[in-house]
A = this chain, B = another copy of it.
Amino acid sequence: MKGDESKAFAELEAIFHPRAIAVAGASAKAINQGHEYVRCLLEFSYRGAVYPINPNLDEVLGLKAYPSLLEVPGPVDYVISCIPAAGVLKLVDDCARKGVKAIHFFTARFSETGRQEAALLEEELKRRAQRAGIRIIGPNCMGLYHPKEGISFRPELPREAGPVGFLSQSGGNAVEFCYHGSLRGLRFSKVISYGNGLDLNEVDFLEYFARDEETRIIAVYVEGVSDGRRFLAALKRAAARKPVVTVKGGRTAAGTHAAASHTAALAGAQQVWRAAVRQAGALEVSTLEDLIDMLLAFAFLPVATGLRVGVVGGGGGRMVQSADLCEEAGLSVPSLPGEMREELRQRAPEIWDWVINPADQSILAGTAVTGMDILEMMAGRPEFDLLIGNVGEDWILELPIGPQLLQYVVERFIGVAGHTPKPLAVVLGPADSPEERRWRAVMEAHQRLASAGLAVYPTIERAGRAMAALVRYHRERQEQGAD
């Protein structure tokens, strides 16, 4: 068993580190994914040889194109197939002759169409590949994004690697998640979109992620699993080693119907699923936004097991909403401790007895104390376990010196985060203003915070929910003696 696991791990390691890649169905047109895979290998500086395959082209993006895989001069470990489904059996046969180890089929229109002839073709594909000892990723998927190796399915994703391994049955979700997650500062070890999971499936990749040292946090989007018992066992093993956050597609009757048409997945009853995921020690969330929120917490925030949050920033309404939404998320919002009130009395006699937790930024104007000062005081007090800072960009950017002030506030947040062992979440709304000045200022603030490793949330509600879930996770681990 131990040996089998090591063998499976070694086999996937080899697949994820191919010495040369051929793109079957490489295209000269950027609208085609067969163009984008080649482009990514070049732009992400993949070190091995890249061979575009297309009988109708001499070159793709400056690389010589070959009429067939068999004409490629050197060895090929990994093939990305973007050809139509009708040609896949021939391709597998070529791969067998060429000694290819794995094929990723971007090619779709197999069992997910619900048509018998397509399902039969898929079965035959599997049979021939197995006979030749070739492993399959897909079909009907985006394949690999492995920035450290220089492999990507989209050119707009980050070149740098990071701690998150993402396993996604859906290619679209993989792309949208990686793009939007990267804007919020997430970076990835490996992302695998595996579609119909004809050969290598969710269990194989989950086992791999559990052992992969590049992966510190595992994210899973799955619509259905081929073997529930094996999946849950793998989930439990993975969750024992690192945080695993899951989204299940096909939670409802309509979703199950949709999943069948999308990845031919047979989704199961939601209550059973949820209970099993929890019992395995993994987390479950409902949307990709929630998934990003939760991964940010695991990626950027230190371990915390206390629920007492100190909140600063924004005006009075924001303060009241912050208090309500934090409590509703399961956090507690304690009063300011006596020593802190005493310090405020010395430094800001005008408002010392008025300011509370959450601290209303607007009443501090004209005093010697800023919201950031209060945040720093909270960071230094044992009565607070967690910190949340509202940037209040709507107010800052109304000022003529808004952009500079916003920069200053951002640097103060980064300073506090660098000096406290407590988790600090920053609330900054989306940079979706029609005014270029506002868009640019908020975007730059967001990028600076994210690149400094701060967890930024678009609303206090989402910050509070992610922090509460983080604390619950660490508490449960602590109770089990695992942390």
**When A114-B354, A252-B327 are in contact, do A430 and B430 touch as well, CB less than 8 Å?**
yes
Q: Is the CB–CB distance between A171 and B430 below 8 Å?
A: no
Known contacts A174-B317, A254-B333; 6 further A-B pairs (Cβ under 8 A) = A31-B399, A115-B354, A170-B316, A175-B395, A258-B358, A430-B432
A175 to B31 Cα, complex, angstroms: 43
Q: Is the CB–CB distance between A175 and B394 below 8 Å?
A: yes
Stretch at the interface among A67-75, A87-95, A271-279, A283-291: A283-291
**When A328-B286, A398-B154, A432-B183 are in contact, do A261 and B354 touch as well, CB less than 8 Å?**
yes
Q: Mark A336-359, 1 if CB is under 8 A from B, else 0.
A: 000000000000000101111110
A56 near B: Cβ within 8 Å? no
Q: Which of B109, B156, B321 contacts A398 (CB 8 A)?
A: B156
Residues of A within 8 A of B (CB): 30-31, 108-109, 112-115, 154, 156, 168-176, 179-180, 183, 221, 223, 249-255, 257-259, 261-263, 286-289, 314-328, 332-333, 335, 351, 353-358, 360, 362-363, 394-395, 398-400, 429-434, 439, 442-443, 446-447, 459, 461
Residues from chain B with Cβ under 8 Å of A168 in the complex: 317
Residues from chain B with Cβ under 8 Å of A443 in the complex: 432, 434, 439
Q: Is the CB–CB distance between A356 and B261 below 8 Å?
A: yes
Integer count of this chain's copies in the complex: 2
Q: Which of B254, B262, B333, B354 contacts A113 (CB 8 A)?
A: B354
Q: Quote the shortest CB–CB distance from A139 to chain B (angstroms).
A: 13
Q: Which of B172, B321, B356 contacts A317 (CB 8 A)?
A: B172
Residues from chain B with Cβ under 8 Å of A439 in the complex: 431, 439, 443
Q: Is the CB–CB distance between B398 and A323 below 8 Å?
A: no
Residues from chain B with Cβ under 8 Å of A433 in the complex: 183
With both beta carbons as reference points, the residue of chain B lying nearest to A439 in the complex is identified as: B439
Q: Is the CB–CB distance between A447 and B459 below 8 Å?
A: no
With both beta carbons as reference points, the residue of chain B lying nearest to A353 in the complex is identified as: B114
Q: Is the CB–CB distance between B320 and A258 below 8 Å?
A: yes
With both beta carbons as reference points, the residue of chain B lying nearest to A397 in the complex is identified as: B156
- Among A109, A252, A360, A447, find the residue whose CB has the most chain B CB atoms closer than 10 A: A252
A-B contacts, 8 of them at CB < 8 A, read A112-B316, A114-B353, A252-B323, A255-B323, A287-B325, A289-B459, A431-B431, A439-B443
